[in-house]
Amino acid sequence: MMKTDFRREPLYIAILAVLLIVGFFLPSWLRFLLQTALAGGLVALGVALQMRAGLVNFGQGLYYALGGYAVGMLAAQAGITDIFILLIAAVLVSTVAGIVLGLLLSRYREIFYAMLSLAVSMILYGLLVKAAWLGSTDGFNIPPVSYLGWTPDRAVRPDIYYVTTAVLTVIACLATARYLTSGAGMLCEAVAENEIRLEYLGASPRKVAFIVIVVASALSGLGGGLLAMSTGHVDPLMTNWTTSGGFVFVALLAGRGSTIAPVIGFFLLELVRTYALDLAPNAWQMILGLVMLAVILLLPEGLWSLIERRRKA
Amino acid sequence: MSDPILVTENLEKRFGGVVAASEISLSLYPGETLAVIGSNGAGKTTFVNMVTGYLKPSSGTIRFRGRDITGSSPRKTAQAGIRRSFQISQIFPQLTVLENVMIAEIAAADGKGGLRRAALTDARMQTGRAVLDRFGLGQHSDTAVGTLPQGIKKQLDIAMAAINDPALILLDEPTSGVSSDEKIEMMERVIAPLKADDATLLFIEHDMDIVTRFAERTVAFYEGKILADGPTREVLSEDDVRKYVIGGVHA
C-alpha cells in the first residue's frame, strides 16, 4: 500500500540518534553485527524496492560485490584510502552497472527478471573466482581507510567505522524515502499491479522499472562499500547466489512498509543466524528456514506489519 | 461544422485469415457523444484498440486532431489526449480509490518530467479528491478498490480515464457488469462530469435505452464493417440495424 507518511525527517534523525547512542552501550561483537547489518540492510532495501514494482532480484549481490570490490581495489591496489572517494567510487561503479543492466533487464518481469539477474550476478562470481590477482575465492584484505588525511588508529577505528556506517545508512534510507514519494517511486506499485493500464494512462512502466533498478543498484553499491570498509575484506561470496538469496529472504522477512524495515530485518536475521549457529551448529539453516516459513504463513506482509497493525489499532 | 477531432480512413484489421474490422471510415466531431453498437465480434472493441494504439491496423489511417497516429502506442495516444475505459475495469486493486486516481495523475505527469517531483503534492491530492467528488466516488476515497462492487469499480475506471482533461474518451461498455436497474443512473453519474469538460465521447453499448438516452449519434457495426452511421433515432429505426444488430444484441 502506498504510504503518505514516508516524508518524516525527524523520524530518521531519531533513528540515527538511537543507533549512535545504543552503539556505545552494545558489546563490541553485537555492535559489529549491527554495523554489518546496516550495510547489508541497504542491499535488502534495494531488493525490497524492486519487489514493490513486482521485480524479484535474485542477483542483487552483484552490486554489493561491485561496491565492495571498488573500495577494495582502490584502497589495496591503487593506494587511495580516503573513505569519501572510496564510497563515491563504490556508488558510481554500481550505479553505472545498474544503468547498463537496467536498460537490458527493465523489459523483463517475474521469473525472467529473477533468473536473468541471478545469471548476471553469477557471471561476476565466476570472473572473481577465476581472478588470481584478486585472490580468487579467498578475496583480499583492505588497508584501513582515512578521513581527509587522518587515519584513525586501532583504538578508535571501530567507533569511527560504526558512526560512518550508521550515518550514511540513515541518510541513504532517508533519500530512499524521498524517492518513494516521487512520481517514479509511487508508480512502482502500479507497475506490479497493472502495467497495461499504466500505459493507457500515459506512463512508461519500463522507465519506472529502470529507475527502481538504478536506485537499488546505488544503495547496494554503498552497502558493499561500507561492508568492505567495516570488515577490511572482500571476497566473491558477496555476489554468490546464496548471498543474494539472503537479501531476498530479508526483504520478505522485513516487508515493504518502511525504508528502515529491511535494515532491522537484516539485523534480526544476523542475530538468528548467530544464535542458531551457536545452538545447533549442524542445523542452523533449518532454524532459518523455519523462521522464514513462520513469517510467510503468519505475517505475509512482513515483520513491519506488526508495527503497522499496532499503529492502526 | 468544425474540423473533426478523429478521422479514420479505411481501417482494416486482420488476424491471419480472420477479418476483425474493415473499411472503417469514421469522423468524430468535437463535443459530440457517439454510441457504437453491434453484436459480439462486430469489431467494436477492435476499433477502440486500434484508435488507442493497442492494435496496429493492417491498413488504413487514423488521424487525431489532424495528426497521423496510425500504429502509435497506448502511451503515445494517451499523451496525445485519447483515454479509454475498459469493459472489465482495469484498475489497481490493492490501492485505495484515491490512490488509483493519484496514479492516473502521476502517470499523466510522466513525459513532462513529472516523475522526478514529489508525487503527493497538496494540489494534486486536491485535484484527486475533486475528481472523485465529481464522479460521486468521494465517500469511497479511502477504501481499497478490490473490495468494492463492480459498478463502483467501473465508475472509478472511467474517472481515471478522465484525468488530465483528455480531448477524446472512449468507453468500452461502461455499463457491462452493472445490474440493469442501475445502468441509467450510473451513466448519468459518469456522463455529466465528462460532458462538463467538453470531452468528445464514444461509448460502446448493448442497451438501446441507454444509447437512445445518451448518444446524439450512433454507429452500428456488423461483421467488422459499419452498417449505419447517423443520428441515433434514425440509425436505430433502420431495417438492417433492427435485423442484424438489435435483434442479435442480447444473444
Q: Find, among B51, B57, B69, the residue nearest to B19 by Cα.
A: B57
Place of cell 530485518: A265
3-state SS assignment for residue A157: helix
Rounded CA-CA distance B107/A184 in Å is 9
Q: Percentage of chain A with pLDDT > 90?
A: 39
A51: contact with B, CB 8 A cutoff? no
Please, are residues A91 and A67 in contact by the beta-carbon 8 Å criterion? yes
Place of cell 453499448: B205
Rounded CA-CA distance B100/B85 in Å is 14
| Mutate which: A1, A2, A256, vs B, most B CBs within 10 A | A2
Please, are residues B101 and B159 in contact by the beta-carbon 8 Å criterion? yes
- Residue A68: the pLDDT is 95
| Mutate which: A200, A212, A256, vs B, most B CBs within 10 A | A200
Please, are residues A35 and A230 in contact by the beta-carbon 8 Å criterion? yes
Three cell numbers, residue B2: 468544425
Compute how many other C-beta atoms are within 10 angstroms of the C-beta atom of residue A276. 18
3-state SS assignment for residue B26: strand
Compute how many other C-beta atoms are within 10 angstroms of the C-beta atom of residue A16. 18
> Long-range pairs for A118-121 at CB < 8 Å and ≥24 separation?
A118/A58, A118/A59, A118/A241, A118/A244, A119/A59, A120/A59, A120/A62, A121/A58, A121/A59, A121/A60, A121/A61, A121/A62, A121/A65, A121/A239, A121/A241, A121/A244
- CATH class of the B1-81+166-251 domain in this structure: alpha beta
- pLDDT digit of tens for each residue in chain B (251 aa)? 678 888 888 888 888 888 888 888 889 899 899 999 888 888 888 888 898 889 888 888 888 888 888 888 888 888 888 988 888 888 888 888 888 888 888 888 876 666 776 677 777 888 888 888 888 888 888 888 888 888 888 888 888 888 888 889 999 888 888 888 888 888 888 888 888 878 898 999 888 888 888 888 988 888 888 888 888 888 778 777 777 777 754 44
Q: Percentage of chain B with pLDDT > 70?
A: 95
Amino acid at B117: R
Which residue among A2, A194, A204 places its CB closest to the CB of B110?
A204
B1 or A213, greater pLDDT: A213
Average pLDDT of chain B?
84
A189: contact with B, CB 8 A cutoff? yes
pLDDT reading at A93 higher than 90 = yes
How many Cα atoms are found within 13 Å in the side-chain-facing hemisphere of A49? 34
Rounded CA-CA distance A20/A9 in Å is 17
B94 vs A4: CB contact, 8 Å cut-off? no
**Cα dihedral sign for A250, A253, A257, A261?**
negative
B119 vs A200: CB contact, 8 Å cut-off? no
Which chain A residues are closer than 8 Å to B52 by Cβ? Answer: 200
- Residue A223: the pLDDT is 96
CATH 3.40.50.300 residue spans of chain B: 1-81+166-251
Which chain A residues are closer than 8 Å to B53 by Cβ? Answer: none
A207 vs B115: CB contact, 8 Å cut-off? yes
Which residue among B79, B114, B160 places its CB closest to the CB of A183?
B114
- Residue A308: the pLDDT is 62
Q: What is the pLDDT of residues A111-167, one digit of tens each?
A: 999 999 999 999 999 999 898 888 888 889 898 888 888 888 888 888 889 999 999
Burial class, A82, CB count within 10 angstroms (exposed 0-12 / middle 13-18 / buried 19+): middle
- What is the average pLDDT across A244-259? 82
- Residue A249: the pLDDT is 84
Beta strands in B29-90 (DSSP E): 33-37, 59-64, 67-68, 82-85
| Sequence spans of domains, chain A | 9-239
Bridge partners of residue B188, in order along the sequence: none
